[in-house]
Amino acid sequence: NAGVTQTPKFQVLKTGQSMTLQCAQDMNHNSMYWYRQDPGMGLRLIYYSASEGTTDKGEVPNGYNVSRLNKREFSLRLESAAPSQTSVYFCASSPMGTVGYEQYFGPGTRLTVT
Amino acid sequence: DQQVKQNSPSLSVQEGRISILNCDYTNSMFDYFLWYKKYPAEGPTFLISISSIKDKNEDGRFTVFLNKSAKHLSLHIVPSQPGDSAVYFCAARSANAGKSTFGDGTTLTVKP
């Protein structure tokens, strides 16, 4: 049982490049989330998917797109990376009420945009 | 408007003593509260939670207290251990909301 996995672990992009962060969970959870963490800023929600087939904006969605590919996978895409998107990105999943409301986080992707 | 606030960025305690981490919220619709712990270079991990119908929940060395009238919750760690040194995030959610709102975290350092 791997829990929540994220790829890649590290990435360096140049301004204007695009990339997709991958996330998968094997806990059969309904809900999945993407957060970014900047120093001293805590976790800010980018997008979330309450259930397969739905996605919603969080606090800081600008510059990002998401795809809930199936129940297991939720990807985050940066179409044209900017230095302001340098951050650590965490994916999380949650059973959301069926068992509990806690979220299970992946190990994170450290992204640097130069 | 930050709906979940952790006003102490850092806290330092001696091993064996009590650690008290505080969290305030402004949204009266929040009905479920959670604490997460985060070590450097790792994702946060769930620690303990409490529903708004309770005022206390205990799990081993960890106890969360909820004061709804004051819109305040606290996490008590007794006794504190050096391995508890981490960043602690408070989070809150409201009924039928598909997401939680997180505070900015408090860095706890437990000195041997």
Residues A96 and A52: their CA atoms lie apart, in Å, by 13
Residues A98 and A75: their CA atoms lie apart, in Å, by 23
- Residue A6's pLDDT is 97
Say if the Cβ atoms of A108 and B9 lie within 8 Å.
no
A23, A31 Cβ separation under 8 angstroms? no
Residue predicted with more confidence, B30 or A98: B30
Set of chain A residues whose Cβ sits within 8 Å of the Cβ of B42? 107-108
Burial of B109 (0-12, 13-18, 19+ CB in 10 A): middle
| Mean pLDDT (chain B, rounded) | 94
pLDDT of residue B81 exceeding 90: yes
When CB atoms are compared, the residue of A31, A43, A92 closest to B98 is A31
- Residue A39's pLDDT is 81
For residue A105, what is the nearest residue in chain B, using CA coordinates?
B43
State mean pLDDT over B22-32.
94
Task: Please write the tens of the pLDDT for every residue from B31-80.
Answer: 999 999 999 999 999 999 999 999 999 999 999 999 999 999 999 999 99
Say if the Cβ atoms of A103 and B104 lie within 8 Å.
no
Q: How far is A56 from chain B (nearest CA, A)?
A: 9
Task: Please write the tens of the pLDDT for every residue from B89-107.
Answer: 999 998 777 788 999 999 9
- Residue B99's pLDDT is 86
Say if the Cβ atoms of B105 and A42 lie within 8 Å.
yes
Closest CA to A23 of A80, A88, A69: A69
Q: In the structure, what pLDDT confidence band is assigned to residue B13 with cuts at 50, 70 and 90?
A: very high
- Residue A24's pLDDT is 97
Say if the Cβ atoms of B98 and A101 lie within 8 Å.
no
Q: How far is A105 from chain B (nearest CA, A)?
A: 5
- Residue A101's pLDDT is 80
Query: For chain A, which residues score pLDDT lower than 50?
Result: none
Share of chain B above pLDDT 70, in %: 100
- Residue A100's pLDDT is 62
Q: How far is A43 from chain B (nearest CA, A)?
A: 6
Residues B85 and B98: their CA atoms lie apart, in Å, by 30
